[in-house]
Amino acid sequence: MKNNRRDFIRKSALTGAGLLGLNLADRQLFAETGKQVERADDPTAPVKAGFIGVGSRGRSHLNDTMALKNIEIAAICDIQKPSLDAALKLLASNGRKEPSVYTGHELSFEDMLKNEELDAVIIATPWEWHVPMSVASMKAGISYTAVEVSAANTLEECWDLVNVHEETGKELMILENVCYRRDVMAVLNMVRTGLFGELIHCRCGYEHDLRSVKFNDGIHYDYASGGPLIMGAKAYSEAQWRGLHAIRRNGDLYPTHGIGPVANYLDINRGNRFLTLSAMATKSRGLHKFIVDNGGTQHPYANIEFNLGDIVTSMIKCANGETIIVTHDTSLPRPYSLGFRVEGTSGLWYNDGDTIYVEGKSKVPHEWDDSAGWMDRYDHKYWREHGKEAEGGGHGGMDYIMLGDFFQAVRDKQPVPLDAYDAAAWSAVSALSEMSVARGGSLVDFPDFTRGKWIKRKAFFAPDEKYPIDPQRSLINSLF
């Protein structure tokens, strides 16, 4: 966000394409129907997009969307005036016409969905609204809906996303931007070409000090009623709702940044699936200490009892025999990390050290290679072709790549790359971990949100013809 957005948008416009100029021949090869997918009637017509939620995250999506080719921001919805004012100012400063604005009450988004003729809707709101808004969008006939992470909080909500997608035939994409991170996509090429051999074990997580996000200045909670008392401009931030989850819940509250990329590596929902999960949580100390250290023992928050353990560790077993460890660590002082480790029969990638080891190919036996050279060699097509355009985009450009991929699917009436089944399976880690923690770490079964279709579904996300998928690693375990 510190980059010069006007330069970013101007530079992207001069390229004449953004990701909306991407040739989709590769994606068609992986379309599950095997049929030619219908193209837009008028390929020159702008995609009409609506945005529900234009707070900090929503405005970041507005920024990146403006940098893409031929997208009309037709409508925005938010119930908080500072967010709306900031969004309108952002659009005006970049020469965009003022969109239709919906506000006034919690269900204003329903008015937008009813009144506007939209091709796509992007949802960036507090977690508890993700499913109601996604469901409403699909039921309103919006062909493409994209929702921020996590997509759902409960198993019932996960099923709602899948069931409504199947009932309406409308596409739902989970906006998991880490799947589009440059190193993550390079490793996807490594995995798909068999560099690490057969995958055996992965680790991932969300290890991010969020203490100041959960309790920033300007927020005062009325914990008797369970709601926030808004005070000051900073009240329009994640702190007004995110901290409450740490009081009420105990599990992995935010799993998809880690589990999304790993699910792509392991072909989850496409030849593989999650089978079982077991989770444990530590005691809760970090948030209380943060409050006392910054506000003293007499601070009104000092008596809050937080339910969320400081570190929640989940282990998942997959149908093809792999295991995954997922870590949630947001209440203690630490540098940011997603803790990726991808290990197979021939080598592994370890994100925290930016290192790779491949048996017989690394420079020195039993010693790590710096990952930089490997990342350059296996750089993904999306970044090779659009890395320059992505500079200045959100989160180092991966938001730009992600939104380009979404709007490309909208433009060409293609299946979305990260669909309702992915949204459900990845988000279900939250509900299942809470269930397991409450039962002392007992094993819980993972629902099959595809209802058996995972066996025949093909790997679909982000194909790269330079590094085609090794057919041997896509074969289903002989048990099936």
Read off the pLDDT band of 262 (50, 70, 90): very high
The pLDDT of 456-471, averaged and rounded, is 90
Return d(Cα 239, Cα 225) in angstroms, integer: 17
Model confidence at 157: pLDDT above 60:
yes
Give yes or no for a contact between 465 and 283, defined as CB atoms under 8 angstroms apart.
Answer: no
The pLDDT of 142-149, averaged and rounded, is 98
Helix (H) or strand (E) holding 445: strand 444-445
Number of other residues whose CB lies within 10 A of the CB of residue 396: 15
Position 44 scores a pLDDT of 79
Asked which of 21-30, 129-138, 320-329, 392-401 is least confident by mean pLDDT, the reply is: 21-30
Q: Minimal CA–CA distance to 272: which of 415, 477, 429, 432?
A: 477
- Between these two residues, 433 and 212, which has the higher pLDDT value? 433
Structure tokens at 173: 């994409």
**Neighbouring-strand partners of residue 350:** 341, 355
Structure tokens at 86: 């900031």
The pLDDT of 141-165, averaged and rounded, is 98
Return d(Cα 266, Cα 344) in angstroms, integer: 11
Position 360 scores a pLDDT of 97
Position 98 scores a pLDDT of 97
Q: What is the pLDDT of residues 300-351, one digit of tens each?
A: 889 999 999 999 999 999 999 999 999 999 999 999 999 999 999 999 999 9
Number of other residues whose CB lies within 10 A of the CB of residue 428: 26
Model confidence at 6: pLDDT above 70:
no
Q: Which residues contact 217 (CB under 8 A, 6 or more apart)?
A: 232, 234
Read off the pLDDT band of 471 (50, 70, 90): confident
Model confidence at 7: pLDDT above 70:
no
Burial class (CB in 10 A: 0-12, 13-18, 19+), 416: buried
Asked which of 79-88, 320-329, 412-421, 470-479 is least confident by mean pLDDT, the reply is: 470-479
Model confidence at 30: pLDDT above 50:
no
Residue 269, phi then psi, degrees to nearest 5: 75, 0
Return d(Cα 258, Cα 32) in angstroms, integer: 26
Return d(Cα 9, Cα 236) in angstroms, integer: 26
Greatest Cα pair distance in the chain:
66
Give yes or no for a contact between 423 and 152, defined as CB atoms under 8 angstroms apart.
Answer: yes
Q: Which residues of 302-419 form beta strands (DSSP E)?
A: 311-318, 323-329, 341-344, 347-350, 355-358, 369-370
Topology adopted by domain 5-177? Rossmann fold (3.40.50)
Q: Which residues contact 31 (CB under 8 A, 6 or more apart)?
A: 37, 414, 415, 460
Read off the pLDDT band of 244 (50, 70, 90): confident
- Between these two residues, 225 and 268, which has the higher pLDDT value? 268
The pLDDT of 392-415, averaged and rounded, is 96
Read off the pLDDT band of 239 (50, 70, 90): low
| Angle, in degrees to the nearest 10, between helices 81-93 and 56-66 | 20
Return d(Cα 279, Cα 285) in angstroms, integer: 19
Read off the pLDDT band of 382 (50, 70, 90): very high
> What 3-state DSSP class applies to 40?
coil
**Neighbouring-strand partners of residue 227:** 222
Q: What is the pLDDT of residues 93-138, one digit of tens each?
A: 999 999 999 999 999 999 999 999 999 999 999 999 999 999 999 9
Model confidence at 225: pLDDT above 70:
no
Whole-prediction pTM value?
0.89
Model confidence at 475: pLDDT above 60:
no
The pLDDT of 54-74, averaged and rounded, is 96
Q: What is the pLDDT of residues 280-306, one digit of tens each?
A: 999 999 999 999 998 899 988 899 999
Q: Minimal CA–CA distance to 152: which of 384, 461, 427?
A: 427
Taking the CA of residue 400 as centre, how many other CA atoms within 13 Å lie in the half-sphere pointing to its CB?
30
The share of the chain scoring above pLDDT 70, in percent, equals 84
CA-based radius of gyration for the chain: 22
Q: Minimal CA–CA distance to 258: which of 351, 193, 392?
A: 351
Return d(Cα 480, Cα 462) in angstroms, integer: 26
Read off the pLDDT band of 19 (50, 70, 90): low
Position 216 scores a pLDDT of 67
The CATH class of 180-379+420-474 is alpha beta
Asked which of 188-197, 448-457, 469-478 is least confident by mean pLDDT, the reply is: 469-478
Position 473 scores a pLDDT of 58
Number of other residues whose CB lies within 10 A of the CB of residue 234: 14
Omega before 237 cis (within 30°)?
A: no
Give yes or no for a contact between 65 and 71, defined as CB atoms under 8 angstroms apart.
Answer: yes
Give yes or no for a contact between 108 and 135, defined as CB atoms under 8 angstroms apart.
Answer: no
Q: Minimal CA–CA distance to 375: which of 367, 392, 387?
A: 387
Domain ranges of the chain: 5-177, 180-379+420-474
Q: What is the pLDDT of residues 406-438, one digit of tens each?
A: 999 999 999 999 999 999 999 999 999 999 999
Give yes or no for a contact between 99 and 48, defined as CB atoms under 8 angstroms apart.
Answer: no
Read off the pLDDT band of 36 (50, 70, 90): very low
Return d(Cα 349, Cα 200) in angstroms, integer: 12
Position 38 scores a pLDDT of 44
Return d(Cα 192, Cα 266) in angstroms, integer: 9
Residue with tokens 């282990």: 315
Position 435 scores a pLDDT of 98
Position 224 scores a pLDDT of 38
Read off the pLDDT band of 472 (50, 70, 90): low
